[in-house]
């Protein structure tokens, strides 16, 4: 199954392309997702730990392009990566909602 089939879309206000690579068990990932929800922005996310096979390899290869350490959360907003939970940076890039 291709990675695209695992990506979940969350509707909201369009502030550019937002993709969140997260782990389902990661507290910082959960905080990042909650912040995006609070800001009311449209975004896509995938829980990398719930992938397997080719989908997982594809996700990790993509993450490595932005974050060679492949740490989580890794978020890409319009071609710029934010690594880890960075409340003010995320708010600054997406507006305050």
| pLDDT tens-digit readout, 34-61 | 999 999 999 999 999 999 999 999 999 9
The reported pLDDT for the residue numbered 95 is: 77
Residues 43 and 66: their CA atoms lie apart, in Å, by: 17
Indicate the angle between helix axes 87-94 and 27-39, nearest 10 degrees. 30
Residues 82 and 72: their CA atoms lie apart, in Å, by: 10
Asked whether residue 1 carries a pLDDT value surpassing 70, the answer given is no
Residues 6+ away with beta carbon under 8 Å from 79: 17
Q: Quick one: average pLDDT of 85-94?
A: 95
Q: Domains in the chain and their CATH numbers?
A: 3-94 (3.40.30.10)
Which residue shows structure tokens 């990675």?
Answer: 3
The CA-based diameter of the chain, rounded to the nearest angstrom, is 38
């Amino acid at each position: 199954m291709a990675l695209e089939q695992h990506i979940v879309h969350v509707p909201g206000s369009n502030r550019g392309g937002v993709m969140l690579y997260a782990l389902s068990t990661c507290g910082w990932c959960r905080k990042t997702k909650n912040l995006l929800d609070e800001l009311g922005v449209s975004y896509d996310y995938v829980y990398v730990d719930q992938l397997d096979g080719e989908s997982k390899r594809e996700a990790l290869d993509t993450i490595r392009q932005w974050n060679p350490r492949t740490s989580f959360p890794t978020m890409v907003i319009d071609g710029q990566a934010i690594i880890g939970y960075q409340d003010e940076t995320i708010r600054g890039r997406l507006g305050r909602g």
